[in-house]
A and B are shown apart, each in its own frame.
Chain A
Amino acid sequence: MTSALSIRDMVVIYDEFTALDHVSFDIGAGESFGIVGESGSGKSTLLRAVSGLASFDQGTLTVNGHSYSGRKRDKEFYRTVQMVFQDPYGSLHPRQTVDRLLLEPLLIHGFTDIETRINRALDEVGLGSGFRFRYSHQLSGGQRQRIAIARALILEPKILLLDEPTSALDASIQAEILNLLEQARRDRNLTFVMVSHDLGVISHMCERLAVMKNGKVVETVPRKALENREFSADYTRQLLVASEGFRRG
């Protein structure tokens, strides 16, 4: 398997605090890789360090054969890697139209067939061109997340970094967004790195997953291991038991 993304001994330190402590994994082209862990375990730090939103202090990052360090990323990187955040309220400017939000990345990367791309992107995320001149504050949470996905896909990236993309949404809207992401992945042969605190979501979406705690990877297991309970870390078991809901003791 050729790796799309390779992370070796990545370390992120904030002041004295080690938020990411020698994290390593290889993600194959076309793979969907999940990261689970409780809040503060370093999941967002990891995606931010990969995407260049935050810098990493040690280790190596290789994407499609190119190496990157610190937080410098070239245009080529953003053509390959795009990110979708949990909070579509924070990541989309509320006073901008959908058109403007989708136009921006196209202009930065010098695309010319703008009309076609914007309309196609809106169709792909199930909104249609009727949404093009709405403001993002006029959209529901689910619609905003569709726009965030459209904006990520419009540059035809190979890899999507997804940071809790459905955690702020109602369960029924979550199902729609997960289906949309799976469809896009199939159509475009995308590689996913998806972060969630929800084991159900990760096991639905990902073939393999890493369990994180205190900035470290506790273990990396295939999806099947959750079902068959073939994992070794006690912490993974704790997360699994907790995900099954309340039991009167």
Chain B
Amino acid sequence: MTMSGKPLLTVEDLRVTFPTRTGDVQAVRGVSFALGRERLGIVGESGSGKSQTGRAIMGLTPGHAKISARKLAFGDRDLLRMRASERRHLRGKKVAMILQDPKYSLNPVMTIGRQIVETLKTHERISTSAAKARALAMLEAVQINDPERVFSLYPHEVSGGMGQRAMIAMMLVCGPELLIADEPTSALDVTVQLEVLDILDRLVADRGMGLIFISHDLRLVSSFCDRVIVMYAGRIVEELPAANLADAQHPYTRGLLNCLPTIGSDRHPLPVLDRKPEWAL
């Protein structure tokens, strides 16, 4: 919650439905939560509706899908009723999203620096030289050692970890209040993953942003966030403080935690999930 007690984001009974030839696919089925300036994790297996929840908040739901909510608000602003141009302005300026693979968000034919400068100029009245200075400072803030050099490189010329840092720089350069990170490090090697998370963690704390961290990795999410929402088949089945993960009640959450092989625990065979049809009701 913010200081005033007003949430940064309010989601009530969010639904996203895809019409398909074989009938409607209900990707998100009545998701509700409120977010303050905190770190909220959304976990669940693939297909549980995590990304579609994030995309609905961003206003990036595919055009043919049906979206509805009792309330979807950024502060006091109604996201579902606002004009498309206003929504576009909000996106990038106040609300930003980082995706798993920078390949899909960075423009391959534009240098990294130019993309960050363009992002700034789209959202702020700023001179090119001031924008360049801000871009370089932002590249430095994501711990890129030689920002001048990386500024002039194309996305394919940098490693996965560097690309993801550039992506974070681009998304945060306008100073958004809410950041949605959808599997931001899942494509990275474990050691690089921790470096990137560390950078993200510090930026979120220093700037007092609200963060929604989406991941299939329950342990990772709970080590990074304050609060965790667990999704199954388009719904929230459990919500708990990240520190109390061990006290999870829902058999799905407990099952997800138990089925992971870990060093030093000798469990043969590994416990498997016994999915119950009622979980998806």
Contacts and interface: CB of A to CB of B under 8 A. Distances in A.
Interface of A: 38-39, 170-172, 174-176, 178-179, 182-183, 197, 199-201, 203-205, 226-227, 238-240, 242-243, 245-249
B263 A183 contact: no
A245 B190 CA distance: 9
Given A178-B270, A245-B219, A247-B223, A171 B190 contact: no
Interface stretch (B8-16, B20-28, B86-94, B252-260): B252-260
B224 interface: yes
A199 to B, nearest CB: 6
B191 A38 contact: yes
A200 B270 CA distance: 12
Contacts of A239: 190-191
B206 interface: no
B239 interface: no
A175 B190 contact: no
Contacts of A39: 189
B263 A175 contact: no
A44 to B, nearest CB: 14
A170 B220 CA distance: 14
B263 A240 contact: yes
A235 to B, nearest CB: 9
Given A172-B272, A242-B194, A227 B259 contact: no
Contacts of A183: 269
B144 to A, nearest CB: 19
B45 interface: yes
B84 interface: no
Contacts of B216: 170-171
B198 interface: yes
Contacts of A179: 268-270, 272
Interface in B44-85: 45-46
Contacts of B193: 242
A170 to B, nearest CB: 4
Given A242-B191, A242-B193, A246-B197, A175 B45 contact: no
Nearest to A166: B261
B264 interface: yes
A247 B101 CA distance: 23
A171 B270 CA distance: 11
Given A178-B270, A179-B272, A247-B223, A172 B259 contact: yes
Interface in B230-281: 255-256, 259-264, 267-273
A38 B270 contact: no
B201 interface: yes
Interface residues of B, number: 32
A205 B267 CA distance: 10
A172 B223 contact: no
Contacts of B223: 245-247
Contacts of B255: 172
30 contacts: A38-B190, A38-B191, A39-B189, A171-B216, A172-B45, A172-B272, A172-B273, A175-B270, A178-B270, A179-B268, A182-B268, A182-B269, A183-B269, A197-B190, A199-B263, A200-B262, A200-B263, A203-B262, A204-B267, A239-B190, A240-B263, A242-B191, A242-B194, A243-B263, A246-B194, A246-B220, A246-B223, A246-B224, A247-B223, A248-B201
Contacts of A243: 190, 263
Nearest to B259: A175
A204 B190 contact: no
B65 to A, nearest CB: 23
Contact of B271 (A175, A204, A247): A175
Identify which of B191, B193, B198, B271 gathers the most chain A CB atoms within 10 Å of its CB. Answer: B191
Nearest to A203: B263
B199 to A, nearest CB: 11
A198 B218 CA distance: 15
A175 B267 CA distance: 11
B76 to A, nearest CB: 32
B34 to A, nearest CB: 24
Nearest to A172: B273
A40 to B, nearest CB: 8
A182 B218 CA distance: 25
A249 B259 CA distance: 28
Contacts of A238: 191
Nearest to A38: B189
A242 to B, nearest CB: 4
Contact of A203 (B189, B201, B261, B269): B261
Given A243-B263, A248-B201, 15 more contacts: A171-B218, A175-B259, A175-B271, A178-B270, A179-B269, A179-B272, A197-B190, A200-B260, A204-B262, A227-B264, A242-B190, A242-B194, A245-B223, A246-B201, A246-B223
